Each structure stands twice: as structure tokens, then as C-alpha cells.
Amino acid sequence: MALEGKAERCEHRADVVRSIIVAPTQMDEPLARSMGCGLCASPSRRSSVPGLHSPTGRRLLSRWLRHLELRGAGAEPPLFINFDETSIAYAYTGGKGNVAASAARRRPVDRLSLGLRRGGASYLGLIASDVAVQRRLPRIVLGNAHKLTQKVMRALQPVRDRGLTVWKGTTAWTSQEVVKRVIRAVGKALEEDREPHPRGRQVILLMDAARSHISPSIITQARKARMHVAFVPAKLTHLLQPLNVRVFRTFKSRLRCAYNAARCGVPDGDINTVQWLGVIADVARETFGNRDWASAFDLVGITSGGERMGQSIREQLNPSGCWAEPALPTPEELAALLGPGVRPPANLLETSTPASVSGAAPSRPSVADDATHRTRLVPRGRRLGVPPQWLRR
């Protein structure tokens, strides 16, 4: 019986492979469901999120961005800044090429610990549509306390001299506090750019719909930095986010080559944490600091009205009529744009404008907004360590 069941599974697997090779769009529905195929699955199993329907999600984002551009229309074009994080490994293995193996060991292997092979940090990528601003944007690496020890942090001055900012946290994952810290760093870098254009240049911060990017406090922090915030629709970052479409692939490819070159320059082939950060600093300066990424925004249709959008992206998005009727998304559209299970910030669609347009001081988030996002408000006495029974008196 076991052999018969194994034979049936093998025949089914052969049918699946044969169907993929011969006619991938003509599979029957049970077979498509077993493979998790989204092309042939029944319409009832598809999600109704606009991010899964490219024209709808693209139309919502275009109307949103166009509305923000018109609100701050001036002599200078709006400045777009795209922020996203990507993982960078401690070690890059699996290289290809000719390797001289000894007679004792026929198969060459990388002598790396399990922590190096599996561990990693986060690179907080930032690109701007203006090359003058691009050179001033911070280049940030976020690592955990286990990797970035006190000894390593004291030896990072040569890395900082090469323009890399290293942040040490309890974890290398991006959180809302990290995002707010990035916004403050970007606002500080934009101070020089605002001197020739006082309160006149519109700055739009574009992020994806990750949960760590969405919070009323993040929107408030962006307004303090005199920036508007817009979100790329869920399931469309591979088509509409410039960092994902154009930048991160180039960055990681260069990083892999530079890491392997650095290992070849060391006698034992092992580089320490400071040398690893030095490699990242050189590659980040080459990729983010000395290059104009305005074409990345043109490629996804954010700037230039979509006239210079890439042909492959245009075919997938079908962007006809996407740049008409500039308007803010409705709360229902925003909830669908951010994806299921993500609560839109209550202050995202408020009519108040940042200080870059109106000159007014940004408003603080209300208690209702915090309650909407289920922020736990701890009494002051409890934060100071006062026993709860004393507070009841």
C-alpha cells in the first residue's frame, strides 16, 4: 500500500510538471488549487485588495501623489524620497567558479559558522528624485547588540568616515521607533535643501505598507520634518516601489562581489565585523551616495506623468487613465490599499498640511488615535515603579 501511494504521488507530480511545461494557463481547477496557482484558481478564492489588481492600485496611488503635488505646487518640482529596508547577510556563500581542491578534500566548502551563514542585519535604503539631495541622505545599517558589541562600536570611526551610519538595537528588525528615527535623520539632511526654497518645495515620503511603517506617531513625525507620506499599494511593491524595482538588486549584487573580494584579501579568509561594515560602507557609497536615482522614479511612473515608465511595468499595470482626477483616497480605499489586517492611521488623511506648505506647527496625535492603534497607555506612577495599590488610594 505504501508503494502504491508513493507511485500515485509520483504520477501526480509528473502531471503537474507536464501541465506547467505544456500549458500553464490551461490547468484544471483542482490541480491549480493543489499548486497554489493564482492564474487558474476560482474567482472566489482571489482577494479583493486593489493591490492584487494592478490598474486599480496604480490609479489610487497616482491620484494620491498628484493631489499632494498640486497642494504644494510652486516654482520647484516636488521632491520624492523612497524609504525601505532590506536584509544584508553576515556572509555570502555559494560562489561560482574554479576552485583548486586538495587530494584530501575533494569537495571545497566555506568554513563559516552557523551564525554567520544565517545571521544578518538591515540596510535602511533611501533614494531621492534629486541627485543633490541624494548625496546628503544618510546611509544606515541596523544591527543587533550581539553583533555590534561595545568593542565593535568603539572601532567604527573609519567606517563612519566613509559615510555609513551604524545603529545598534536589541534586534535588527525595523520597528516604528526606527522608522521615526529615520524620518528625523532625513529631515536633518533636508535642512540644507530648504534654504534656497524656504517653505516652497514639496517633499513626499514614499513607503510600502509594512506594519512597522504605519502608525499615527510616524505620520506626526513626518509632519514635524515637513514631509507628506504616501504608501505603495500592497502586493505592488515589485512594480511601483523604486527601491525594489531598480536599486536593491544592484546593491546586493555589488555587495556580494565586494564581500568575496575582501575575503580573498585576508590570509585566512575570515573578515571581522568592522571589516564587514567597511565593505558595506564602500558599496553603499558607490550605490546610494554617488549615483542619480531619478530614473528609478521615472521607471515606475511616479514622476514625468508616467511617460517614461518601463515597458514591462506598463504592460503589467495597464496604466491608461491612471493620472486623472487628483484626489486623496477615501478611508475605504485607503484600507484596501494598505491591505487586509492593517489599520490606516487616523491622521493620515487630515486636511492639515505640513509646515513646508502652510508654516503651521504640526498637531500632536490624539489619545483617540493611539487607542485606535491599541497603544497601551501606562500611568505615570506605574512607570516609576509605584505599587498599583497606592494608585487606587
For residue 276, pLDDT over 90 is answered with yes
Q: Within this chain, do residues 16 and 135 fall inside the same structural domain, yes or no?
A: no
Q: Within this chain, do residues 283 and 315 fall inside the same structural domain, yes or no?
A: yes
Q: Within this chain, do residues 28 and 135 fall inside the same structural domain, yes or no?
A: no
For residue 143, pLDDT over 90 is answered with yes
Q: Is residue 85 part of a domain?
A: yes
Q: What is the pLDDT of residues 309-362, one digit of tens each?
A: 777 777 666 655 555 577 888 888 888 888 887 888 888 887 544 544 444 444
More confident residue, 66 or 363: 66
Q: Is residue 288 part of a domain?
A: yes
Q: Within this chain, do residues 29 and 177 fall inside the same structural domain, yes or no?
A: no
Q: Which structural domain range is residue 20 located in? A: 2-46
Q: Within this chain, do residues 41 and 190 fall inside the same structural domain, yes or no?
A: no
Q: Within this chain, do residues 31 and 123 fall inside the same structural domain, yes or no?
A: no
In this prediction, residue 251 carries a pLDDT of 95
Number of domains in the chain: 2
Q: Within this chain, do residues 157 and 140 fall inside the same structural domain, yes or no?
A: yes
For residue 383, pLDDT over 50 is answered with no
Q: Is residue 388 part of a domain?
A: no
Over residues 17-30, the mean pLDDT reads: 38
Q: Within this chain, do residues 155 and 244 fall inside the same structural domain, yes or no?
A: yes
Q: What is the pLDDT of residues 47-67, one digit of tens each?
A: 444 444 566 777 778 788 887
Q: Within this chain, do residues 261 and 342 fall inside the same structural domain, yes or no?
A: yes
pTM of the model: 0.72
Task: pLDDT band for 267, please (50, 70, 90 cuts).
Answer: confident
Considering the chain, what percentage of its residues have pLDDT values greater than 70?
Answer: 63
Q: What is the pLDDT of residues 224-233, one digit of tens each?
A: 998 999 999 8
- For residue 290, which amino acid is it? N
Q: Within this chain, do residues 16 and 57 fall inside the same structural domain, yes or no?
A: no
